[in-house]
Amino acid sequence: MADSAGLQFVSPYAFEAMQKVDVVRLAALSDPELRLLLPCLVRMALCAPADQSQSWAQDKKLILRLLSGVEAVNSIVALLSVDFHALEQDARKEQQLRHKAGGSNGESILVSQLQHGLTLEFEHSDPLRRLRLTLSELLAIMNKVVDSNGEFFLKSSELFESPVYLEEVADVLCILQMLVHNIFDHIPQY
C-alpha cells in the first residue's frame, strides 16, 4: 500500500491479486490494503458468479472469510442494496436539469434541501441518501468541468475534502463507478 500525504493507494501486488482474483494473495494482504479493495470484494461476494465451478465456490468462501468481521462491510452491503436503476434515472434527470440551468446549483433532483452542511448530512444519511449526496456533488463538479472549456479551475468540495469521511466517500464513489457508470460516459476529454 502506497501512502502520499495521508492518502492510501492500492499497491501493484494488491492490484494484480484483485485483477487475477487470486484469493490466496488477497488473503495475504494487510488489513489496510484489504480495506482499499472492500467495495469490489463485497460486490464480488454478493453477486451471482458466472463461474459455477467448485474451485470458485471455494475461493468465494475464502473471500467471505476475509470479509467477516470487517466493520465497513455492513455499510458497503447496505450501499449495494439500493435501487441503482432509479438512482441512474434521477442522475440523468439531474444532468439534464443542470445542463438546462447552465450549471447552476439551485435545484436538484438527487438531493432536496440540506438541513445541515454536506458532510454532516452525509454522516446522518441512510445509504441511498449517501449515494445521492455524493452523486449530486460529483455531477456538480462534472458540470463545472464542461463549463470550463478545458481551462483550469479550482472547485472545493466539503464532502470530497473531508478526511473524516474519506474512506466512506471512496466506497460510495467506487460503487457509483461500478453500478452507475453510464452517467460518467459523457465527460468531455480535453
Backbone angles phi, psi at 3, to 5 degrees: -135, 130
What pLDDT, on a 0 to 100 scale, did the predictor assign at position 167? 94
Instruction: Give pTM, 2 decimals.
Output: 0.85
Q: Rounded CA gap, 122 and 107, in Å?
A: 18
Joined together, the cell numbers standing for residue 157 give 468540495
> What was the pLDDT predicted at 115?
80
As a whole number of angstroms, the distance between CA 11 and CA 34 comes to 10
C-alpha angle 132-76-114 in degrees, rounded to nearest 5:
25
* Phi, psi of 7, rounded to the nearest 5 degrees: -85, 145
Sign of CA dihedral 131, 103, 185, 17: negative
| Domain extent listing, the chain | 12-79, 82-184
Q: How deeply is 98 buried, as exposed, middle or buried, from its count of CB atoms within 10 A (0-12, 13-18, 19+)?
A: buried
Neighbouring residues of 59: CB distance < 8 A, sequence distance ≥ 6: 21, 23
**In the structure grid, which three cell numbers stand for residue 134, read together?**
455524493
**What pLDDT is recorded for position 110?**
83
Q: Which three cell numbers stand for residue 64?
A: 467471505
Q: Can you list the residues of the chain whose pLDDT is less than 50?
A: 3-4, 188-190
